[in-house]
Chains A and B, each alone.
Chain A
Amino acid sequence: MTLVLATIVGLPFAAAMLAVIFGRYGGPLAAAAVAGVAVATAALIVIVAEGQPVTIDVAGWPAPLGITLEADGLACGFLAMATLVMSGVVAQGRAYFYNTGPERRATWAFWPLALLLWAAINAIFLSRDLFNLYVGLELMTLCAVALVAIEGKAETLAAALRYMLVALIGSLLYLLGVVLLYSAHGVLDIGLIAARVTAPTDILAAALMTAGLAAKMALFPFHAWLPPAHSGAPAPASAMLSALVPKAAFVILMRLWLEAVPDLSAASLLALFGTLGTAAILHGGVMALRQNRLKLVIAYSTVSQIGYLLLVFPLAGGASAAQPGAADAWKGVVFHALSHGLAKAAMFLCAGLWMASVGHDRLEGLRGQARATPITAFAFGLAAIALIGLPPSGGFTAKYLMLTSALASGQLIWAVVLLLGGLLTAAYLYRPLAMIFAKADAAPVAVSRSQQAVPLLLAGTAILLGIASSGPFELFQIGSPWADIEGLE
């Protein structure tokens, strides 16, 4: 068991180190890491699906002395999603960075950074220790910033700098919160913190940590750094940044409020989370509607989609946890996070292919792509279905579960937000889709079929998540705060 968890965190890390030494073999090393982690994740899912979360104490020291890693259903879902995204990133990255020449600094730096980022994210999914989580966050952030700046262009450097500033402040705030909790209770393990006696400084600590995490996941109003950073990075990097990085911060936020300190979440606080989420959905959506570059549309879409995640707090946090449908809402949010991760990564990979063939990412350049790159266009369409939340897709399952829960618990307002958000998403994705379908004056350059098919793998999985949703539904249950509830409420 230790081996499985060690592989999931350690293999990307080891591959990153090797990629630093053997710079020319970064691509094959990454592919090997993906294969290894895929096997380990599959094994982990099989074991966890038997019904119990898997826990190991690193080096045999139990908490509070040592470090505990725990794989529950939630972690399994996110690990699997990350592995899929990384396989897409590796498949496209190898072609992308090969084309730019082996001597370029970008090629040399990309693989270690991407692998390190992945290792950090996997560690975050498995950690139950607030300080460990901080280390993971910090490593993830530094890699993410470096990936934004990797091509060394003036505008991406500016975006990376702004990202770094926000992210470092976020780290500081988070660390401050951890220190406050530790000084009050002397423990860092999430389970032990849940069992603590509430101290007066706890609410301040939680607030500081939340602010830090909000900055890292680009939650409205801390989102301004995201669109230039995500749209400026090379496409395979953008896929990771948009699909994985905010999700890692969100998992910590969710574990913090639902597992570590659920007693602190007052109704007003839950409503505040919901309001921020709503603002993100609307603001991000409207901004996406106004962009004329594909990567900016997709990046603002991330700002908007992150808002949905926040609805987990009014629907399932604090006192709402006992309401009918709370468990469904929580699973709905997990479905949403996974489906968004897959679909968003697929979209950035599509954008990368089109940029490579057209030379820019203005929407105008998408004309005729349905004919020139039909498989990519199809993948983009599927990803759009998942993002809008049309059936059948993981996004739809998410929306259905969250909507039912909102109505069952009488919180009509969030149902309205969910439906409006879906319409807004349809509106801003209509423009790229219509362009893809439009007639082109000159036929765009064709792209090889195997490269075209890479995003299809991810978008197809986002759709599959909505067709075969019964298995994941039961998996997420395991080790969740609602582990004892059977099926739909």
Chain B
Amino acid sequence: MNVLLPMLILSTSLLPAVLTFFIPDDRHGTRNALSLGGAVLKLGLVAFMLSEVANGAIYETRFEFAPGLEFLLRVDALSLLFLTLSAVLWFLTNIYAIAYFGKKPELSRFFGFFSLCVAATTGIALSGTLISFFIFFELLTLSTWPLVVHKRNETSFAAGRAYLAYAMPASAVLLAAIVWLESAVGPVAFTEDVDFSSLDDTSLRIIFAMFIVGLGVKAALIPLHGWLPLAMVAPAPVSALLHAVAVVKAGAFGIMRITFDVFGIDRLDDLGITTPLAILAAATILWGSIQALFQDNIKKLLAYSTISQVSYIILGIALGGPYAVIGGLVHLVHQGLMKITLFFCAGAFDEQAGVTLIDELNGLGGRMPWTASCFTVGVLGMIGLPPTAGFVTKIYLGVGALQSNAEWVLVVLVASTLLNAAYFLPLIYRIWICDSAKDEQPVEPSILLTGPAVVTASASLVAGMMAGSAFSPLGWATLIAERGYLP
């Protein structure tokens, strides 16, 4: 059982993915049952493993590609953090996507790649060796491209091209980094200590920098972020998944693995490369927010906000102190909950009221009160106001910065909060205070479209208010940090 569980949980997404491709397009019921069934099963497995892993259990599946070169799926505390997020949000996005697309054509292909994308994310979360991580990382690139170009007009193909133009060279750099490292130290597993003695400090710095470049495209670190705002042409469920779980998080999670489980935060400190990484993250935080100020399209604004928010995670990792690490880890979940809420709502605005531009938001609060309320909760979280989850992150990052003697980070946090307020509050103002130009009817979407947003918005509130409980994201992040990453 212990050997089968990781494979089983991977196949809850992989199997529906493969089967969905073969379901005729008009068999909507079969297809929905398949992907929802997989998602429910996955939730059950995750819940079971959460309680077991909290008690110290570990699950592993492994086989060899070549003698010594291992494929390893491993469930530990850190992988469960990401896995749980992806399982919960996949389930909700699935419901949302079913409601969003209705009975449009060519959905079998869409849901096939959609599940494949989640399977890749699962694999990334569970990977226990560099080589298995790389395999799923590439699978993610390939499975998201068809989702980005799903509308198949010229803009989506342009966005798809831009995505690949960033992602393929990045994957070459990532592969080069992996191979350079492994040609010197042998195949790397995350749980085993790596003997770096055959590499000098300069080589190590270059290898780490190559890892950051290779992973940084997906994590949308500047200057590698250009594809993300373009990719917002994808359908709303895709954007929601991309920005909250799949692509950007895979990049951030990869940087976590490399930092904690390959190099180790102490060694990186000795090499003097954590501060440059922190500065890069801080610059990304500010740059994303500044760009967001100038957007007139809601989804584009959200995309720049993602660029900024994901770098909180990287900032926390780079600072390296206990509180900062916890703050970074927990933001992986918090940002996911808040950002997916915003994209769910943005999709509903577009689908129900035809609203895609910020100017058109006027008076929407009266017409779609549920959706607009969820959107507001998401926005407050992004700004980091109590009692939302975003507030918890910022407190931990702030304290962590002081612990690491990096007072300048406080300035960045304050500036970013102000910027967030500056670009988000006008939206709230338009939604609730401004009157609609025309007197239009309520257009609240169906429960299937609002439900997921209500759940994620509430979850982001609960995660903030119940942060002290052991199974809150914060509690789990603390568990991870205590188990391995703290001095």
Q: How far is the CA of A473 from the CA of B64 in the complex (A)?
A: 11
Contact of A470 among B65, B109, B182 (CB under 8 A): B65
**With the chains together, A426 CA to B66 CA distance in Å?**
25
A403 touches B176 (CB 8 A): yes
A371-B106 in contact (CB<8A): yes
Determine the chain A residues whose CB is within 8 A of the CB of B21 once the complex forms: 374, 378
- B296 at interface, CB cutoff 8 A: no
Q: Are B179 and A400 in contact (CB under 8 A)?
A: yes
Partner of A419, one of B131, B135, B139, B172: B172
State A59–B132 Cα separation when bound (angstroms): 50
In whole angstroms, how far apart are the Cα atoms of A439 and B149 in the complex? 11
CB within 8 Å for A487 and B68 given contacts A391-B138, A403-B175, A415-B179? yes
Residue of A whose beta carbon sits closest to that of B169: A423
Decide: A390 and B138 in contact? CB cutoff 8 A.
Answer: yes
Q: A434-B157, A437-B152, A439-B152 are in contact. Are A407 and B138 (CB under 8 A)?
A: no
Q: Mark A448-489, 1 if CB is under 8 A from B, else 0.
A: 000000000000000000110110011000000000001110
Whether the Cβ atoms of A488 and B176 lie closer than 8 Å is no
Interface: B184 (CB within 8 A): yes
* Of the residues B68, B106, B109, B135, contact of A488 by C-beta under 8 Å: B68
Judge whether A404 and B179 touch: CB under 8 Å.
Answer: yes
Q: Does B67 contact A (CB under 8 A)?
A: yes
A331 to chain B, nearest CB (A): 8
How would residues 307 to 337 of chain A score, 1 for a CB under 8 Å from any chain B CB and 0 otherwise? 0000000000000000001000000000000
Whether a CB of chain B sits under 8 angstroms from the CB of A227 is no
A155 to B66, CA, bound (A): 46
For the complex, give the distance between the alpha carbons of A415 and B182 in Å: 14
A437 contact from B142, B149, B169, B182, Cβ within 8 A: B149
Measured CB to CB, the closest approach of chain B to A484, in angstroms, equals 14
Provide the main secondary structure of the chain A interface.
helix
Which residue of B149, B169, B182 is within 8 Å of A404 (Cβ)?
B182
Say whether B176 contacts A438, CB under 8 Å. no
* A61 lies within 8 A of chain B by Cβ: no
Q: Are A415 and B135 in contact (CB under 8 A)?
A: no
B interface residues, how many (CB within 8 angstroms): 36
Tell me the minimal C-beta distance from A86 to chain B in angstroms. 28
Q: How far is the CB of A274 from the nearest CB of chain B, in Å?
A: 18
Contact call B157/A438, Cβ cutoff below 8 A: yes
Of residues 392 through 422 on chain A, the ones whose CB sits less than 8 Å from some CB of chain B are: 392, 396-397, 399-401, 403-405, 407-408, 415, 419-420, 422
**Is the CB of A214 closer than 8 A to any CB of chain B?**
no
Contact B142 A385 (CB under 8 A): yes
B67 near A474 with CB under 8 A, answer yes
Asked if A487 and B149 sit within 8 Å, CB to CB, the answer is no
B183 within 8 Å of A by Cβ? yes
Chain B residues, Cβ within 8 Å of A415:
176, 179
Which residues on A sit within 8 Å (CB–CB) of B186? 488
Q: How far is the CA of A304 from the CA of B182 in the complex (A)?
A: 27
Q: Which of B138, B139, B179, B182 has the most CB of A within 10 A?
A: B179
Q: Which of A390, A408, A420, A469 contacts B66 (CB 8 A)?
A: A469
Tell whether, in the assembled complex, residue A397 and residue B65 are in contact, meaning their CB atoms are under 8 Å apart: yes
Q: How distant is B230 from chain A, measured CB to nearest CB, in Å? A: 16
- Residue of B63, B152, B164 touching A426 (CB-CB under 8 A): B164
Using CB atoms, name the residue of chain A closest to B167.
Answer: A426
Give A469 to B183 CA distance when docked, in angstroms: 19
Closest Cβ neighbor of A407 among chain B residues: B183
Query: Does A370 sit within 8 A of B, measured CB to CB?
Result: yes
Residue B168 lies at the interface, judged by CB distance under 8 Å to chain A = yes
Nearest A-chain residue to B109, judged by Cβ? A370
Are B184 and A408 interface neighbours, CB within 8 A? yes
In whole angstroms, how far apart are the Cα atoms of A437 and B68 in the complex?
39
**Across-interface contacts of A25 in B (CB, < 8 A):** none
On whether the beta carbons of A401 and B183 are closer than 8 Å, the reply is: no
Residue of A nearest to B105 (CB): A371
CB pair B183–A423 under 8 Å, yes or no, is no
Least Cβ distance of B135 to chain A in Å?
Answer: 4
Q: Which of A407, A426, A470, A488 contacts B180 (CB 8 A)?
A: A407
A22 contacts partner chain B, Cβ-Cβ < 8 Å:
no
Nearest CB in chain A: distance from B112 CB, A? 10
B8 within 8 A of A: no
**A378-B21, A487-B68, A488-B68 are known contacts. Are A392 and B176 too (CB-CB below 8 A)?**
no
* Contacting residues, chain A, for B466 (C-beta < 8 A): none
A430 on the interface (CB 8 Å rule)?
yes
**B142's contact among A374, A390, A470, A488, by CB below 8 Å, is which?**
A390
Q: How far is the CB of A183 from chain B (nearest CB, A)?
A: 44
| A282 CB to nearest chain B CB (Å) | 15
Q: Answer whether residue B134 sits at the interface, using C-beta atoms and an 8 A cutoff.
A: yes
A-chain residues with CB within 8 Å of residue B171 when the two chains form the complex: 390
How far does the alpha carbon of A479 sit from the alpha carbon of B134 in the complex, in Å?
32
Interface centre among A378, A390, A422, A467 (most CB of B within 10 A): A390
The answer to whether B183 and A419 have CB atoms under 8 Å apart is no
Residues of A within 8 Å of B161, CB to CB, are 430, 434
Is A422 within 8 A of B187, CB to CB?
Answer: no
Whether the pair A400, B131 counts as a contact (CB closer than 8 A) is yes
A487 touches B184 (CB 8 A): no
State in angstroms the CA–CA spacing of A468 and B54 once bound together. Answer: 34
How long is the Cα–Cα vector from A129 to B132 in the complex, in angstroms? 43
CB of B175 within 8 A of CB of A473, answer no
Contact, CB under 8 Å: A488 / B175: no
Q: How far is the CA of A486 from the CA of B176 in the complex (A)?
A: 25
Q: Which of A390, A403, A466 contacts B179 (CB 8 A)?
A: A403
Q: How far is the CB of A459 from chain B (nearest CB, A)?
A: 14
Q: Name the B residues within 8 Å of A420 (CB-CB).
A: 172
Q: Which residues of B contact A401 (CB under 8 A)?
A: 66
Q: How far is the CA of A487 from the CA of B146 in the complex (A)?
A: 38
CA of A415 to CA of B181 in the docked complex: distance in angstroms? Answer: 13
A391 and B134 contact, CB distance less than 8 A: yes
B180 to chain A, nearest CB (A): 5
Bound complex: CA of A60 vs CA of B93, how far in Å?
Answer: 71
Residues on the A chain within 8 Å of B172, using CB: 419-420, 422-423
CA distance A322 to B253 in the complex (A): 40
Within 8 A of B (CB), among A417-447: 419-420, 422-423, 426, 430, 434, 437-439
| Complex CA–CA separation, A403 to B180 (angstroms) | 8
Q: Is B279 interfacial (CB-CB < 8 Å)? A: no
- Determine whether B69 belongs to the interface, using a CB cutoff of 8 Å to chain A: yes
Q: How far is the CA of A420 from the CA of B176 in the complex (A)?
A: 11
Given contacts A403-B179, A415-B176, A437-B146, contact A473 B109 (CB under 8 A): no
- Give Cα A64–Cα B187 distance, bound, in whole angstroms: 45
Q: Which residues of A contact B149 (CB under 8 A)?
A: 434, 437
User: What's the Cα separation between A376 and B64 when bound, in Å?
Assistant: 30
Chain B residue at smallest Cβ distance from A399: B175
**CB-based nearest A residue for B63:** A470
State how many angstroms separate the Cβ of B75 from the closest Cβ of chain A: 21
- Specify which chain A residues have a CB less than 8 angstroms from the CB of B182 in the assembled complex: 404
Contact residues in B for A469 (Cβ distance below 8 Å) = 65-66
**Given A470-B64, A470-B66, A474-B67, is A423 in contact with B157 using a C-beta cutoff of 8 Å?**
no
**B6: min CB distance to chain A, Å:** 16
Inter-chain CA distance A437–B156, complex, in Å, is 12
User: Knowing A419-B175, A430-B164, A469-B65 touch, does A391 contact B135 (C-beta < 8 A)?
Assistant: yes
**A392 to B137 alpha-carbon distance, docked (Å):** 11
Residues of B near A470 (CB, < 8 A) are 63-67
Q: Which residues of B contact A407 (CB under 8 A)?
A: 179-180, 183-184
CB-defined contacts of A437 to chain B, threshold 8 Å: 146, 149, 152
In the A-B complex, the 8 residue pairs with the closest CB atoms:
A487-B67, A407-B183, A391-B135, A403-B179, A408-B183, A404-B183, A488-B68, A419-B172
- What are 28 contact pairs spanning A and B, CB under 8 A? A371-B106, A385-B142, A390-B171, A391-B135, A391-B139, A397-B65, A403-B175, A403-B179, A403-B183, A404-B182, A407-B184, A415-B176, A419-B172, A423-B168, A423-B169, A426-B164, A434-B149, A434-B157, A437-B149, A469-B66, A470-B63, A470-B65, A473-B65, A473-B67, A486-B67, A487-B68, A488-B66, A488-B69
Given A419-B176, A473-B67; 4 other pairs, CB 8 A cutoff: A407-B184, A430-B164, A434-B149, A488-B66
